[in-house]
């Protein structure tokens, strides 16, 4: 779970790749660098992430079977909401309980 600002969007094959500036990592099981690529396994624009906007994102690390691909994937059941101070407060409160 992290707060990120969408810098760019690019269609790559049947997927969408977003360049994201990681603002605040809340909970993560793998290290995040200040800029990451976030992959969405479709090209329909779902979820609708707009360049320049900030979001609270819950994504997964995806490593393929051959261990040749390691990326951050926002799946259909992932979480992407516009970032607000309220979202920040809710995530911080939940992190204390979990």
Reported as a pLDDT band with limits 50, 70 and 90, residue 68 is: low
Looking at 2.40.50.120, 3.40.50.720, 3.90.1200.10, 1.10.260.40, the CATH number of the domain 2-96 comes to 2.40.50.120
pLDDT at position 22 is 93
Per-residue pLDDT tens digits for 9-57: 999 999 999 999 999 888 767 788 899 999 999 888 788 899 999 999 9
Q: For 47-66, b where at least 16 C-beta lie within 10 A, e where not — what string? A: bebeeeebbbbbbeeeeeee
Is it the case that residue 97 has pLDDT exceeding 80? no
Q: Which position has the token pair 């609270």?
A: 56
* pTM for the model: 0.83
Is it the case that residue 67 has pLDDT exceeding 80? no
CB atoms within 10 A of CB 12: 10
Highest mean pLDDT of the ranges 9-13, 79-83, 89-93, 94-98: 9-13
């Amino acid at each position: 779970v992290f707060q990120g600002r969408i810098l760019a969007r690019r269609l790559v094959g049947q997927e969408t790749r977003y360049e994201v500036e990681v603002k605040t990592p809340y909970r993560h099981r793998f290290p995040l660098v200040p800029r990451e690529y976030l992959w969405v396994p479709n090209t329909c624009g779902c979820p609708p992430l707009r360049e320049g906007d900030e979001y609270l994102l819950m994504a997964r690390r995806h490593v393929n079977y051959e261990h040749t691909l390691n990326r951050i994937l926002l799946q259909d059941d992932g979480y992407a909401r516009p970032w607000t101070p309220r979202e920040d407060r809710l995530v911080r409160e939940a992190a204390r309980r979990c």
